[in-house]
Chain A
């Protein structure tokens, strides 16, 4: 039985090492919602599904299981804010719970890495699913102090919903979990062409071929630019990095002039729950540094009503 209202907070790589404001925002949000986040000391990269699984699927499972063991030792479900980390940890966790032979093989190799034994006692959660289903639009309203007034191009990314038979969250064809949740924060979702395709970063593509990655991303940005949103809203630091550095690349190399602020769902929710915009961290980002969320403060009268 895991601890209630407590998560082992899996940081991953890009959030703590490139976008710490997302980490700050997530801690703020979960604390305000009454959850305790535990440090996962000695955790490593999940490891990323695109590169590491393709090299050695077994070692990928072992390295993921090592991270899962750290959370098991804390008696807490894992919380991640990253699609890639979610993809790896949720998939390996589910597989090892079901496959005894692989569980034994993984545990044998884990002995080489330290005092670890995978038991299958926890679950892996993504913040978009915790916010969307556990807190829900009905639950967040009591916690917000202001609403924004923005049109957002919402990017789901790949691993949050796919493969659907493993994730079991929602259909990947026409999901609405994020739209439904952020509507009460004052966000209007604007649909765009090929909305649910990859941003071009994952699958080891960004590391291997910048050109291929930017070709995919260029198409994505063209489709987003057609609907002229105020912001791009994502749920994954790797997609976040791609939208940030990708816009910069297209501006410098493909005669584009993009400057869409890129906001992770944790940053948006933290702002609506009262965190100063300074800590949301747009001043550290490449795009939309001068963007002001603005929006309306929720008055006491409204709160009472």
Chain B
């Protein structure tokens, strides 16, 4: 685990895993909700949005996710050589 953490510090992170981290920062979830599931939740008699951090952000209170974005899981930028490969 320490080795994997060290590799992350060096920027060795797959683009798909970077995306998962960005989902956490933007939505508070590694798997964000979508329109189809919002509708389904209502059909099942549940609240359209679960009462998690994302719901509060939608209602204009984004302090939780802002704090997480600012202070948590800071990843180094994509390495130049990897950027070229990913763009190719």
- Whether chains A and B associate is yes
Given that A17-B32, A20-B40, A114-B63 are contacting pairs, would A55 and B51 also be in contact in the complex, using a CB cutoff of 8 Å?
Answer: no
Q: How large is the interface on B (under 10, 10 to 19, 20 to 34, 35 or more residues)?
A: 35 or more
Contacts of A23 in B (CB 8 A): 46, 50
Q: Residue B44 at the A interface, CB < 8 A?
A: yes
Are A45 and B5 in contact, CB atoms less than 8 angstroms apart?
Answer: no
Q: How large is the interface on A (under 10, 10 to 19, 20 to 34, 35 or more residues)?
A: 35 or more
Chain A residues whose CB sits within 8 angstroms of the CB of B78 once the complex forms: none
User: In the assembled complex, which residues on chain B have CB atoms less than 8 Å from the CB atom of A63?
Assistant: 24, 68, 72-73
Chain A nearest CB, measured from B47 CB (Å):
9
Cβ contacts B43-57/A at 8 Å (1 or 0 each): 011100011110010
A105 interface hit (Cβ, 8 Å): no
A207 to B33, CA, bound (A): 17
Q: Which of the segments A36-44, A129-137, A252-260 contacts the partner chain?
A: A36-44
Contact of A57 among B1, B51, B70 (CB under 8 A): B1
Instruction: Give the chain B neighbours of A45 by CB distance below 8 A.
Output: 24, 28-30
Q: Which residues of B contact A (CB under 8 A)?
A: 1-2, 4-5, 8, 13-14, 16-17, 19-21, 24, 28-34, 37, 40-41, 44-46, 50-53, 56, 63-65, 67-68, 70-73, 75
Residues of A bordering B, CB below 8 Å = 11, 13-14, 16-18, 20-21, 23-24, 39-45, 47-48, 51-57, 59, 62-63, 109, 112-114, 204, 207-208, 279, 281, 284
